[in-house]
Amino acid sequence: MSQVVFITGATSGFGQAAAHCFAKAGWSVIITGRREERLQQLAAQLALRAPVHYAVLDVRDETAVKAVVAELPTGFKQVTSLVNNAGLALSPLPAQKVDLADWHTMIDTNVTGLVNVTHALLPTLLDTGEGASIINLGSIAGQWPYPGSHVYGASKAFVKQFSYNLRCDLLGTGVRVTDLAPGIAETEFTLVRTKGDQSASDKLYNGTTPLTAEDIAEQIFYIATLPAHICINRLEVMPTRQAWSPFAVDRDE
């Protein structure tokens, strides 16, 4: 049976790098995302190495998710691994200064979108059985709070607990579930979060050595290709040059 991976948010960052990683290994690759031009370009690159199918998809749209899964062509229907990568952070300002619409967008994408895709593909993954994987992209923000994380961190905490709970429900089916939680990584993440502020992105990564999209893609592929009897429940990956900070204390001046 050929190995088939379904990747959300494949138009940039971890998703794009993961698509290259799986294609290099000869997997059949399904790439989805909202930006069709980027999907077409990526599909053309991947097709030089492996079978590829792309679908324009906004994971927030339940009906669209169901349609994409139902219409997968022959050779791509039996998904072996799901990589729930689509997600974003917005508004790094304090909670009291954030536009409510940005909170809703993060919840709709990071939580509702994750649930939509997982639910739609569960029957297929259960049919695949032993060795199938659901790899959910969380974040260290789901475990460790920091100023400006508000709904983003809360949504990634949902990813963590949802992954754990899925593991309980899927016990005995052979389907594995992992919460992969990266630390600081240099992708388009900060550009999206700051609505295109390149200087803010440069400042975040300047003078240190962050993770790369390829670093996380390698971890995704590693998890998906472990022997069927091994499941990593949660994998937290940080660059060596990142660690935790002391508790903040408000003091009288």
**pLDDT tens digits, 100-126:** 999 999 999 999 999 999 999 999 999
Q: Give the tokens for residue 39.
A: 């999907």
pLDDT of residue 1: 59
Number of domains in the chain: 1
Classify residue 242: in a domain, yes or no: no
Is residue 247 included in any domain, yes or no?
no
Q: Is 218 inside any structural domain?
A: yes
Name the one residue in this structure whose structure tokens are 């009291």. Answer: 96
In a domain, 246, yes or no: no
pLDDT tens per residue, range 231-248: 999 999 999 999 999 899
Q: Is residue 68 part of a domain?
A: yes
**Domain ranges, residue 160:** 4-237
Q: Say if residue 34 is exposed, middle or buried (CB neighbours under 10 Å; 0-12, 13-18, 19+).
A: middle
Q: What is the pTM of this model?
A: 0.95
Q: Give the sheet arrangement for strand 234-237, strand by strand.
A: 52-56, 28-33, 4-7, 81-84, 133-137, 176-182, 234-237
- Pairwise CA distance, residues 242 & 46, whole Å: 33
Structure token digits, residue 193: 């979060």
Identify whether 89 is part of a domain. Answer: yes
The answer to the question of residue 145 being in a domain is yes
- What is the C-alpha separation between 232 and 121, in angstroms, rounded? 20
In angstroms, the CA 128 to CA 34 distance is: 27
Is 205 a catalytic site residue? no
Residue among 26, 79, 24 at smallest CA distance from 55: 79
Name the catalytic one among 146, 152, 164, 205.
Answer: 152
Assign residue 47 the CATH number of its domain: 3.40.50.720
Reported as a pLDDT band with limits 50, 70 and 90, residue 2 is confident
Does a structural domain hold residue 253? no
Closest CA to 195 of 56, 97, 93, 109: 93
